[in-house]
Chains A and B, each alone.
Chain A
Amino acid sequence: MAITKKITPTLAALTASAAAMPGISGFASAASPITEPRISISTSSYQEQAIDGIRTTGTDNADRYDIEVGQFQLVAPMGDNAEIDFRLAKDRMSGASPWFVVEGADGEPVQVMSGATIDDERKDASLEYKHFNDSSAISVILGISSENDYLSHNIGVVVDQELNNNNTTVSVGYSFSDDNITATDSELFFSRPEKENKSVQLLSLNVSHAVNKNLAFQTGLSYEVQKGFLSDPYKLVMVNNIPLADSRPDSRYALIYVANLRQYFPKSTAALKIDYRYYADNWGIDSHTLSLIWHQNLTNNWSVAPMVRYYKQNEADFFANYLVTAENQASIHHSSDYRLSKFDAVSYGLTLTKQIGRMGIELSAEQYESTDSRKPGDSRTSPGLVDFSLVSLSASYEF
């Protein structure tokens, strides 16, 4: 054993250092850092379709939002145990948005759009630093998002722990966002506050598990607390034909449960992705979301992935297209925001990817349609529901 004795110190040092080793690759999010830096760029075009003419009024041009989005991402290893993920996004939006709802001639609600075209720009930057240990990882995320009337700072921490020989990953995350709202033209509109603040805290627990070599499952529970000014400064509600400011409670508690599944089919070189989410909050909204993606790998490094998604929510307790009441209810919460109404939506899309050496190219298109299931006299659904299309072209390069 002379040999072993002599070489022991160096190898012992190695063996000890091997324990603090991130090289666990394969399943689960806590894996090792990426080996090569990667940059990605993407451009997206978002277009809302005009609302059916009989259900809208208030602007010559009923065009709703168009948004152009540019994104940049750099992911790079930092030594052997860490990686950074830097992102930049810039949105440029223009168009009219739903303002308030009035009763039409036939007694049905009619959406009034904002008269002036809104032009805004949003810039978003985030930096994530992720440090890997033997069987765990910790990420710290800092982000800022800025618009001319909105500024958000956020920070998040996520800890991933691998269990069962890296077949199970438990992730615990917390994030905090501090948002400031300075509504434009607040001196012109009584309903717009000059300066308001809101905070969002999110605590989440996720467990993912490799069930077998082709099947992975993830489930998670999150709790979110929003506090402060949660109303929309640009929306109004007609109460007895008097326009009042959108007014929502100053706190919102939500519970989010997710169950996601990934099944690989080796013979057809395809993967089925199923994501389900249940959401419930104390505003009376509960919602189900189910999305299915079939990711089909093809020859020559092509892949095609059709997607279908179903979304459903019921209305917030204080949602109303407009209110007609005997008393002055100005102090009560009310909102005509279509996003707080009862609706369901179906979207379908297709993503095409091609890998050329170290470069990846992706084209993704989606059409989203709020189902027009509103029945006459149904006051729980808004006439302002949105249909939109979203097309993205992205490229990434790995060094």
Chain B
Amino acid sequence: MQLVYGSESSETSIKTGINKTEDTTSKTAPNFTAPLLLQEGSVSLTDFRGKIVYLDFWASWCGPCRKSLPAMQELHTELSKSGFTVVAVNVDEVIQNAKNFAIPLALSYPLVYDGNGNIAKSFDIKAMPMSYVIDKQGKIIHAHKGYRSKDMPLIRQALMEMLKEK
């Protein structure tokens, strides 16, 4: 099966604003350093080099995020030992709303706070929620708009395939 990103899938995948002519996928994810939402300290995207990262943008006011955050916890629990992590970027303006939303969910993956939307801007996200699969080299290989429960098995399968690769 011949599949080249940028041809067949370019129409359906999501483009970033940094280089408008280039597909988001297969391009290096913009790095960021952001404070953790629930703990002290901060993390950078580059801290996860060597791992496959599922980067998800969410907000407390976004309906589908109620479903996507726990669903990603399942992925994280299952795959985090094999070189995978979920990183969730919150874009709430009021940090307390994000905390109130996230704490009861008891999520074990890193949650970072992007209150002024700078990270969201650098990824030029097109919807809420929106997520990206970033490979071990830091390249975006998949952009995912919105959340549908039936996509999760596919995402899981794709991640498993990626993780099997050395």
Which A residues are within 8 Å of any B CB, using their own CB? 2-4, 6-19, 21-26, 31-32, 34-36, 79-81, 165-166, 266
Q: Determine if A11 and B151 form an interchain contact, defined as CB atoms under 8 angstroms apart.
A: no
- A135 CB, min distance to chain B CBs, angstroms: 10
Q: Determine if A12 and B151 form an interchain contact, defined as CB atoms under 8 angstroms apart.
A: no
Which B residues are within 8 Å of any A CB, using their own CB? 1, 3, 5, 8-9, 11-14, 25-26, 62-64, 66-67, 93, 126-130, 133, 135-136, 141-151, 154-155, 157-158, 161-162, 165
- A165 interface neighbour in B9, B11, B126, B150, Cβ under 8 Å: B126
Report chain B residues within 8 Å CB of A6: 161-162, 165
Inter-chain pairs besides A10-B157, A12-B8, 18 sampled, C-beta below 8 Å: A3-B162, A4-B26, A7-B161, A7-B162, A11-B141, A14-B154, A15-B9, A21-B127, A21-B148, A22-B146, A23-B130, A23-B148, A24-B128, A32-B64, A35-B63, A35-B67, A81-B148, A166-B127
Q: Which of B63, B136, B155 has the most CB of A within 10 A?
A: B63
CA distance A302 to B90 in the complex (A): 26
| Cβ contacts A to B, 6 pairs, < 8 Å | A11-B133, A11-B158, A24-B128, A25-B128, A25-B146, A31-B63
Q: Determine if B63 and A14 form an interchain contact, defined as CB atoms under 8 angstroms apart.
A: no
* Closest A residue by C-beta to B8: A12
- A175 CB, min distance to chain B CBs, angstroms: 27
Q: Determine if A3 and B146 form an interchain contact, defined as CB atoms under 8 angstroms apart.
A: no
* Closest A residue by C-beta to B144: A18
A16-B9, A18-B143, A24-B127 known; A9 vs B3 contact (CB < 8 Å): yes
Q: Determine if A2 and B165 form an interchain contact, defined as CB atoms under 8 angstroms apart.
A: yes
A4-B5, A8-B3 known; A80 vs B149 contact (CB < 8 Å): yes
- B66 interface neighbour in A13, A35, A266, Cβ under 8 Å: A35
* Closest B residue by C-beta to A3: B165
- A23 interface neighbour in B136, B142, B147, B155, Cβ under 8 Å: B147
